[in-house]
Amino acid sequence: MSQLDEQRGKRSDGIAIELVGLNKRYGDVTALDGVSLTVREGEIFGFLGPNGAGKSTTIDILLDFVRPSAGTATVLGYDAQTDSLAVRQAVGVLPDGYHLYDRLTARQHLEFAIASKSSDDDPIELLERVGIADAADRKAGGFSKGMRQRLVLAMALAGSPELLILDEPSTGLDPNGAREMRDIIRAERDRGATVFFSSHILEQVEAVCDRVGILRNGELVAVDTIDALRDALGTDARLVLTVESVTDDMVGAVATLPDVTGVRADGERRLTVSCASDAKSAVIRAVEAAGGTVVDFDVEETSLEEMFAAYTTDEYPATNSEGEGDSGLVTPSADGEEVRA
């Protein structure tokens, strides 16, 4: 039986975090509005949303720093309010704006974190994992922002917790630090831990998350894998083909494919095709069936920023598979006029 299996003990539901109908009001401000969410054991779950969406409030409720106005939060089978001590004992936390003791060294911070988890970790080994072992005996007061962040992460890892809750873990980290953070998150998942983290850094989220939840104005507007969220928007992929020579037959053959919404000939050798993500190979086959030779191709998917904007703002003109919106691509007709495919 692994250490994590032992920690899981009586639980067998496979659920790490469960929120049901969570509401939080601060006076007139509704910070959370009926949030229900299940995070499974062993997954890396990214919690996204614009500033003020309610991410920190949710995390604060999980850790009982804030009480909900309504609804329940369960963490590793414990009620976040009535069993908050058990939750804090079992969870590794990297909170937003954690306070370090400026006069204590990194090693002393780790010794404190290890003792509070009743574990027998080696402080230096934890500091090595986050890349600041050489500063073990320096006082935290002199640490840079990124070093402070790494130290708090090392403290969160103490006791090999079953669940890590990380609020904006990449804040203050340089690109190497952000990469190391991703490696640590993956290593924790590989160990069997669940990782729940909030972030604004979409590339970071895409690189490591199994699923994401997107909050907007206190409401959970989407929960899925990033690929599924992209597909759900129905925004097309753009396929840019380089062929030996563009012909009208080729353009016509591609334009009549069911999942193609636009074709444009750019010069004599380039075809830009707007189509559903899974129609790309059909496009290439149609070009070849029309006698063309594909020399090269490139795919442009919906960017993460576009996807995030589509879920979190009203302004974004999301295209959908029924053809609403504007793919911006038009097909040249035989007589030289341009028509929409």
Binding site for ligand ATP (CB under 6 A): 26, 29, 31, 49, 51-57
- Cβ contacts of 35 within 8 Å, gap of 6 or more: 19, 21, 22, 23, 54, 58, 71, 215, 218, 219, 220
Contact 198, 168 (CB under 8 A): yes
* Phi, psi for residue 92 in degrees, rounded to 5: -95, 130
For residue 18 the two structure tokens come to 């469960």
Least Å distance between CB 199 and ligand ATP? 9
Going by C-alpha positions, the residue among 2, 18, 147 that lies closest to residue 87 is: 18
Residue nearer to ligand ATP on the CB measure, 56 or 302: 56
Least Å distance between CB 236 and ligand ATP? 30
Least Å distance between CB 314 and ligand ATP? 18
Residue nearer to ligand ATP on the CB measure, 198 or 235: 198
Residue nearer to ligand ATP on the CB measure, 69 or 108: 69
C-alpha 247/C-alpha 236 separation (Å) is: 23
Residue nearer to ligand ATP on the CB measure, 26 or 101: 26
Least Å distance between CB 95 and ligand ATP? 11
CA-CA distances (angstroms) from residue 332 to 194, 234, 271, 283, 329? 52, 24, 11, 17, 10
Residue nearer to ligand ATP on the CB measure, 168 or 188: 168
Residue nearer to ligand ATP on the CB measure, 50 or 332: 50
Least Å distance between CB 218 and ligand ATP? 7
Least Å distance between CB 280 and ligand ATP? 36
